[in-house]
Homo-oligomer: A and B are copies of this chain.
Amino acid sequence: MLKRSNIVTPKEELDAFYEHLRGQHVTPAWIAEATGHEPRSKAVPFVWHWRDLRPEAMRAAELVGTEQAERRVLRMHNPGLQGSSAANTLVANIQIVMPGEIARAHRHTPSALRLIIEGKGGYTVVNGDRIPMSPGDLVLTPNWTWHDHANDTDAPVIWLDGLDAPLVRMLEAGFYEQFPEEAQSLGEGADGNVAKYGAGGLRPAWETPGGKYSPLWHYPFTQARAALEKLAAEQPGSPFDGVILEYTNPATGGPAMPTIGCYVQVLRPGDHT
């Protein structure tokens, strides 16, 4: 008759055994904190207000040059987490580039999104393609793509960065490389990725995206907003989230980046998610 065995051992004897085990780099796992029945996040809900962060970004731009800082970013750390990430697998930054400045070219295995908050122009160069940045735009720099940022306007450009750095660190897959020049050289055109992959249901028949990442790196807000407004007027959307669109990789129909899903949502008057 098979059954669970029942053995009662004096506490002191057990404690001595456990202590002995630890000396051998072994843990008696049955006394560890019981596994929960559901995940419990250590991260806590938290709001960083723009009215607070913007002045800090401007102040940082006064005090620190892009010569001093590879990237001038304010990293938001979640009060519930150790380290400096906003969520368990994601880092969130406010980054600012002042008129006339560039942030030099590099690449890394963490993937990044940029959601433009403020600015009158400026651009990011991704693998040689010059991508304009307007408020509301989503700009991707997928893993291991060369990228530098520049501001050729007379107003600051400020955006939100999102990176999967904590996940990449856990997977011990973090690589980083400086570009040999300060910035990538630019050809005549701009935003070629949008011309080729940004039109719905069309792809350039003369090329096959080589990498594992999306060939589309720029999702202009004008397009996303038009799509949202049209749908908000005509369709109920999701019973849980209302009218919400996911940014996709047009070469696969899947998420914009494998490790970071990106969405844009409209809340109509009266909507309650």
Contact = CB atoms under 8 A, between A and B. Distances in A.
Interface of A: 1-9, 13-14, 17, 20-21, 24-30, 32, 35-39, 41, 46, 48, 52-53, 56, 59-60, 62-79, 84, 88-89, 93-94, 98, 100-104, 108, 150-152, 166-167, 169-177, 182-183, 189, 192, 194-206, 216, 219, 223-224, 226-227, 230-231, 234-235, 237-241, 243-253, 256, 263-264
Given A170-B89, A253-B249, A63 B203 contact: no
A150 B11 CA distance: 27
Contacts of A67: 4-7
Given A59-B17, A177-B37, A203 B248 contact: yes
Contacts of A205: 238, 241, 244-246, 263
Pick the most buried of A4, A35, A226: most chain B CB atoms within 10 A of its CB. A4
A252 B64 CA distance: 45
Nearest to A171: B89
How many copies of this chain does one complex carry?
4
Given A24-B52, A192-B234, 11 more contacts: A3-B101, A17-B60, A25-B78, A27-B77, A29-B93, A39-B173, A200-B200, A201-B216, A202-B245, A204-B243, A253-B253
